[in-house]
Amino acid sequence: MAVTVSVSQEQRGLRGFMNRGGFWRFLAFVAVYLGIYIGSGTLISRLGGHYADDDLLSSLGSVFFQVTASLIVGSIVLVAFSAYLGWNREMFGRQPIYRSKWMWIAPVIVATPIVLRVLGIDWGRHQADVVALMLGSGLLIGFAEELIFRGFGVKMLRDAGHGERAVAALTALAFALSHSTNLLGGQSITVVGPTVLYTFSFGVLMYLTMRVTGFLVGAMVMHGLTDPTTMLATGGVDEVATDASSGGLLQAAGLFTMLLIISGYVLVIFVRGRVPDQRPS
């Protein structure tokens, strides 16, 4: 009788809602998280004064109040919630499914523009502390977004019985849709539309990176190096590098990004496999 009560309690309330998994429950979780993240970002920007309106890479304060602070809040919320659910070991542990050699294409495609940007960046253009905080903030972006979509998302879809192609595609779709919230920040549809197309493909490649490296951390690191090197290479949002000696490398990185977009939509077709339900009956 005690066991029956324990299992029944586990299936009720918030834990029960999350443990049942499924795409729509996952979208609900993402919506709540985005509400917390955007809400905290709005409050933090008001506390940041002029730093919230300055150019992103103009000072340590502008990076902190525009990017870092809300990421810290979001990361704490996610870690606390995953600990509450008891999912940390499963999400951060080794992937419970085989990996195919062809999947190494994904991290190679993602890493190539990162390397090109690192070689092309004018590292003396910004203060050293600004660069360091931007890189650290990038790792937080990778940690938080991969924990949501390749951590929580993958687990919830697998728990609902989805095959791995659906897991890859649906978590990438949710990742892409989450970036449509940029419309709320004033970005135009002509900017947000291409971003959504890019992030779907990037999400597929992050799923493949997680699967081929065997751990969620592999995707977190790769993702965490993508965003800050992009911002540092362009000098900030809607800016371009002007240094002639590095322009060719940065242009090559931009062209390679086009290959990245195409590859995600193609590679998802070849994803196979299914993880057996490992939840206690």
At 5 the pLDDT is 43
Boundaries of domain holding 73: 2-270
Residue 278 lies in a domain: no
Contact 267, 106 (CB under 8 A): yes
Residue 234 lies in a domain: yes
Is residue 47 packed enough to be buried (19+ CB in 10 Å), middle (13-18) or exposed (0-12)?
Answer: exposed
Instruction: Give the Cα-Cα-Cα angle 70, 129, 240 (nearest 5 degrees).
Output: 80
At 281 the pLDDT is 52
Residue 227 lies in a domain: yes
Residue 46 lies in a domain: yes
Q: Which long-range contacts (CB under 8 A, 24 or more apart) does 33-37 make?
A: 33/74, 33/77, 33/78, 33/148, 34/178, 34/181, 36/73, 36/74, 36/77, 37/70, 37/73, 37/74, 37/77
Residue 66 lies in a domain: yes
Question: One digit per residue, pLDDT tens: the chain, 281 residues?
Answer: 444 444 455 567 999 999 999 999 999 999 999 999 999 999 999 998 888 888 888 899 999 999 999 999 999 999 999 999 999 999 999 999 999 999 999 999 999 999 999 998 888 888 999 999 999 999 999 999 999 999 999 999 999 999 999 999 999 999 999 998 878 777 788 878 888 999 999 999 999 999 999 999 999 999 999 999 988 887 644 333 434 444 688 888 888 888 999 999 999 999 999 998 666 55
Domain count across the chain: 1
Contact 104, 209 (CB under 8 A): no
Residue 139 lies in a domain: yes
Residue 279 lies in a domain: no
Token pair of 161 as six digits: 């019985």
CA dihedral 272, 277, 279, 281 (to 10 degrees): 180
Provide CB contacts within 8 A for 125, sequence distance 6+: 235, 243
Residue 116 lies in a domain: yes
